Amino acid sequence: MVPEMRQQAEDEIATSDRGRRERLVLPAELRRRVVTHLLAAAPAEGVGLLATAPSQNGTIIATAFYPGTNIDRSATRYTMDPAEVLEALRDIAKRDWTLGAIVHSHVRSPATPSVTDLREARYPEALMVIATFAEEPPALRAWRIALDGAKPAAVVGEVPIVAGRGME
């Protein structure tokens, strides 16, 4: 992606319609469920989906976590069981939520998108949330990515994850 196009994508994707930067509100209970599920998958990467409420002013509120099975059973890549993906997406649609993030873990590496993560990314409208167990306590980071044709995805920027209340 040429620098001018990348900057334009960063401005459009990482900034809401009112000029505020995006942020992901992840309630403590959902964060606990995410970390517990991903840790249980070790030594393989764990995977799951986060549903979110419609974004307002750049604030994306996580509403539910759908744990998944990594059918690759790999420490360096993940594929969520397609039946689990379909079930989760149906439930998300039924509740008028959106697929807000695809979540996975890095057991021994930082919570930044790997070359494999970017090569296999397919949903740029969803954040890429990565947990790392290489530090204590486990760190969670969210990333906005952009796809450019057949090339691997590019990182547009990090989206802060903040604690907060859920929709309940």
CATH of region 3-14+22-162:
3.40.140.10
What's residue 58's pLDDT? Answer: 87
The secondary structure of residue 126, as a DSSP letter, is S
Tell me the one-letter amino acid at 10. Answer: E
What token pair was written down for 70?
């990594």
β-bridge pairing 23-25 and 59-68: parallel
Tell me the one-letter amino acid at 119. Answer: R
Query: Tokens 């044709």 belong to which residue?
Result: 149
Mean pLDDT, 10 residues at a time, over the chain (168 residues)? 39 42 94 97 97 88 97 95 98 97 96 94 94 94 90 91 70
Between the alpha carbon of residue 158 and those of residues 43, 61, 95, the distances in Å are 26, 16, 27
The answer to whether the beta carbons of residues 140 and 35 sit under 8 Å apart is: yes
Tell me the one-letter amino acid at 81. Answer: D
What's residue 143's pLDDT? Answer: 97
